[in-house]
Structure 1
């Protein structure tokens, strides 16, 4: 895909960053915020959710569409799950720790806190919350961040409860896990100030750095999600949800621009052709003797004529995605497996004669296209209605909608854009006055990198790895205890990376494991060369102490006399080489000596003793 002139297209984009906070308790109860494995569940709760009217008597369009699919929602409960999470007890007051962290983030965003936090309910009927709504409260507005292409305004920052974790889909509906539900989450929304894919990525990176600078946000897959709102001048605002990887944001924006450009051109051509969408018709009899397995297995086949659409349903709008894929997304939302259309037929066992009969049955000629759904009759009829609605929107151009981000930069239809009708006040939680005066501004990660280089003499690359890494607090605690900064940094970053590559379960290592191992080195009870082996032993059995792990790995420290004895033996075995090469034999003998000591002695000590022994022999 060639790069577009984004200014000429009128690209406008904004971000919504959702970040879980690392607090002791959930937002509206005292349950822990640690994730659990589904097999740890001790009970299940079942719910059926329906949309409700707002304070103004309105029903949100997105919630209404979601409710058209009849589904059962099951929730996995654990030994820590409480009645608030199950929606069997009113929420408690807003967690004070979460409020403090949110105010700290607001300060980093240069945003102005509101006088009081008023909790609102946001209707959600996809099953991700047992109550059918998400609780959310505005914390601050009117902030700003800097990017290389200029400032980006921060429209608002909200404190919300995280949704339940989606586990699997079943024939009856969806299974969710309650361990994630209620974890404090900040949602940061930018102004539509972003004008290029690169600026979108830059802005997201800046916000992510500010969030991590607090030291109170969760890390790892799924703990931060980026949504991107994108539009071009002739297109429409589209919300792209669930971008997991920061590196994907610019690709997501590029591909959405391409999609909108293609849809604008398709819409223009459809209008020039005088295109329209006909009425759905039952065409089951056309395929009575079909060899297509998918069609033959269906109870009914329902088709809709797309007059003037020939050749455009199969037109590519994103890599491996066509207008037909857009139509299929809507059919899937209605419960169908997908659609067939005449731009791709005959194929899939459907013959040329069947295509001709299909066109005749719905009154379509060679300038038209036909889309069909094969499923149970209720599903087929509902799905074809959804296809017809999306096809009518294609004549106009780009519809406003919410889409899900795919890993390859493309996206898929999720639901219509939500409106204001889904928000109404939460009556069970009183407002909370906010006082930002006691909030301390943390050191930014960019500032930490500069300090690590200047104060500890770390290489800039290593300093950045440590500052942005998960174990930055461990590194700082070790240095504060007197451990050499370079050793501490290399241990929490390079050594851990090497162990992970060897499939060592490093996620089982706790902060105290690192601190205790580094303390052994600092005390001279463990050579730094043995750090990796001791951490490996601790990862395999986290119940061991660092000293026990060193003993088990045969890496307990040795005194200088044993080092001298071992090195002397190595030099004696290689006497002829030493006499012939002198200090030139050092490298080979150093490796042999370290191997003989099996990481139990510090390399610098071994080096010094070896040089002395070589000089004696030479």
Structure 2
């Protein structure tokens, strides 16, 4: 595709949790829990008018779903602020300072005063129906090989509650995440190529990783805004995989291009959408379709000129009918049936013909039917009608959920400015020149800079240095190295690879803090354990809670004396006398393997090699 000709524009939003001790507006810890809730809160949320009397369209659609929201709450991990039963406490100053550091690293213009705003959100993720947020900085610039990208704004806000599950008419959230400080970094729509998106996300990630932010799954979320010249702005939520970003862009562009083609064909056919909903249950009394047979109501709508277009593929494996079904599903139904896929699913050709005749369909006309509870069916078909009418005019502005295969699914309409209003419970905070001066004088080292420095300073390979930085273990490496005489490569490889393997095997490596690791390396430095024994010792520390010394003793991994090692090697050589006589020094490899297996990590490999070599040479 010719992205320049198509007028591709993109903007990236990066949401990153900050690693502060307290939440943004209360003293609760910023830790998640999987404990059983100590009490639950039930809420129903509804949209409110902005100061100009307008209602946000996304909030209005959520309210139509009439959902009950249940919140898991705790006596210690949450408080009355998260329950929206107490006013917010003063802003977390530590979180503000971290966000100022990030803004400075991105060369942004910091505001003189920080004002907290309320952003209306009634999908249940906030008990009060709004999220608190405030502008920290504007107008940053990132250089990329595809051109400069402008960073519009950096905001400090509170994270939402965790969605735990959903059942009929109810959504369950957990309040432990609600209120954790979060920075939102938003670029201008100045990204023009799919590969450029990945580059921008990487650069922003590098800046964030150099500061006090949380690490791990769920601590960073990325959303992507995409539009083409004749299309519309679409927000893709949850674009997590950097390697998948370019594919998501390509698939969204294909979707919009195909929707524009469908629009043109519909206009060529003078297509239209009728408003009437038709009760067709009497036509399907004897149906073999299990879905329709057990439904309370079955209604259909007539789409003039839509036949053959509903089944057109607009993204890999997804059709225009999937788009329409996405709108229906938001009203609580499981899906819909349309002309281009019938007869199927137990609906016979005779039943299809009966419906066509009842609705008075022409050769180019189509119908869509939905079977479920009457109120759900009516709401769902009205949403399908609304979406079908939009298809006659334009690509709709939407918020869509990014899918693992690089496609996307409809979530809700794109929010409007009508959802923002002032938070009156929190005073403005002045950002002084002195504070900014202190921050600028003590900025953290960026990851790429750190990688280059530790390669040079500690004579590490590029791969080891890269892994240390990527896994956020470069600082630990330098602290341990400063206090240990163990060679840099052994320390680095243990931190970069051994800990990764232990975690993969189910070990809780969070127990292995710097002091424990240093103690293990001191055993190695003093010749009490071998390098090969380190993984087993660290695994035992994780599982049993022993100290490295206790782990080495309990596993019988304390090093043997040189005399004891020499005796074991002599026994192995003696018992393999025939091999030695036949091969001479060629027996070195097999004997080395036998020796290391016998010693079980209780001797250094270099010492074993030396003693074995000396023994064989003396025999010759």
Q: Same fold (TM over 0.5)?
A: yes
What are the equivalent positions in structure 2 for 1:59-208 lying under 5 Å apart? 59-78=55-74, 79-208=76-205
**Conservation of the 8 A alpha-carbon contact between 1:474 and 1:514:** no
Displacement of 1:222 in angstroms is 1.2
| Aligned twin of 1:536 | 539
- Deviations, residues 553-589 of structure 1 (Å, cap 9, x unaligned): 2212333332233233323333343344343322222
| Aligned twin of 2:374 | 377
- Deviations, residues 111-150 of structure 1 (Å, cap 9, x unaligned): 1111111111100101101111101011111001122212
| Aligned twin of 1:492 | 495
Q: Distance in 1 between matches of 2:397 and 2:459?
A: 53
Displacement of 1:205 in angstroms is 1.0
| Aligned twin of 2:547 | 545
**Conservation of the 8 A alpha-carbon contact between 2:343 and 2:349:** yes
Displacement of 1:503 in angstroms is 4.6
User: Would you say how many aligned residue pairs link Structure 1 and Structure 2?
Assistant: 612
What are the equivalent positions in structure 2 for 1:277-292 lying under 5 Å apart? 277-279=273-275, 280-292=277-289
Q: Distance in 2 between matches of 1:133 and 1:295?
A: 39
**Conservation of the 8 A alpha-carbon contact between 2:31 and 2:77:** no
Q: Does 1:437 align with 2:453?
A: no
Closer, same or farther: CA 172–512 of 1 in aligned 2, 3 Å = farther
TM-score (norm 2): 0.96
What are the equivalent positions in structure 2 for 1:219-298 lying under 5 Å apart? 219-279=215-275, 280-298=277-295
Q: Distance in 2 between matches of 1:246 and 1:164?
A: 25
What are the equivalent positions in structure 2 for 1:548-563 lying under 5 Å apart? 548-563=550-565
Q: Distance in 2 between matches of 1:395 and 1:564?
A: 87
**Conservation of the 8 A alpha-carbon contact between 1:330 and 1:386:** yes
Displacement of 1:504 in angstroms is 4.4
Closer, same or farther: CA 340–510 of 1 in aligned 2, 3 Å = farther
SS class of match (2:21):
coil
Q: Distance in 2 between matches of 1:444 and 1:555?
A: 40
What are the equivalent positions in structure 2 for 1:411-430 lying under 5 Å apart? 411-430=408-427
**Conservation of the 8 A alpha-carbon contact between 1:575 and 1:617:** no
Q: Distance in 2 between matches of 1:420 and 1:336?
A: 30
**Conservation of the 8 A alpha-carbon contact between 2:14 and 2:185:** yes
TM-score (norm 1): 0.96
Displacement of 1:442 in angstroms is 1.2
Displacement of 1:494 in angstroms is 1.9
SS class of match (2:341):
coil
What are the equivalent positions in structure 2 for 1:507-518 lying under 5 Å apart? 509-518=512-521
Match among 326, 333, 351 for residue 348 of structure 2: 351
**Conservation of the 8 A alpha-carbon contact between 2:573 and 2:591:** yes
Q: Does 1:302 align with 2:299?
A: yes
| Aligned twin of 1:596 | 598
Q: Distance in 2 between matches of 1:488 and 1:94?
A: 41
Q: Distance in 2 between matches of 1:166 and 1:134?
A: 15
**Conservation of the 8 A alpha-carbon contact between 1:570 and 1:592:** yes
More deviation, 247-256/513-522: 513-522
Q: Does 1:51 align with 2:53?
A: no
Q: Distance in 2 between matches of 1:520 and 1:71?
A: 60
Displacement of 1:319 in angstroms is 1.5
- Deviations, residues 296-346 of structure 1 (Å, cap 9, x unaligned): 111111111110000000101012211111110100111111110011011
**Conservation of the 8 A alpha-carbon contact between 1:135 and 1:426:** yes
User: CA RMSD for the aligned pairs?
Assistant: 1.6
**Conservation of the 8 A alpha-carbon contact between 1:222 and 1:244:** no
Q: Distance in 2 between matches of 1:123 and 1:335?
A: 23
What are the equivalent positions in structure 2 for 1:562-601 lying under 5 Å apart? 562-601=564-603
Closer, same or farther: CA 250–583 of 1 in aligned 2, 3 Å = same
Q: Distance in 1 between matches of 2:64 and 2:479?
A: 54
- Deviations, residues 472-498 of structure 1 (Å, cap 9, x unaligned): 332222222224221111112222333
Long gaps (5+) in structure 2: none
Q: Distance in 2 between matches of 1:282 and 1:445?
A: 63
Match among 338, 342, 348 for residue 341 of structure 1: 338
SS class of match (1:396):
coil
| Aligned twin of 1:524 | 527
**Conservation of the 8 A alpha-carbon contact between 1:161 and 1:185:** yes
Closer, same or farther: CA 537–401 of 1 in aligned 2, 3 Å = same
Q: Distance in 2 between matches of 1:362 and 1:559?
A: 94
- Deviations, residues 166-206 of structure 1 (Å, cap 9, x unaligned): 10002231111111111111100001111111001111111
**Conservation of the 8 A alpha-carbon contact between 1:75 and 1:178:** yes
Match among 448, 451, 455 for residue 449 of structure 1: 451
Q: Distance in 2 between matches of 1:57 and 1:523?
A: 75
Closer, same or farther: CA 76–519 of 1 in aligned 2, 3 Å = farther
Closer, same or farther: CA 70–511 of 1 in aligned 2, 3 Å = farther
Q: Distance in 2 between matches of 1:361 and 1:538?
A: 75
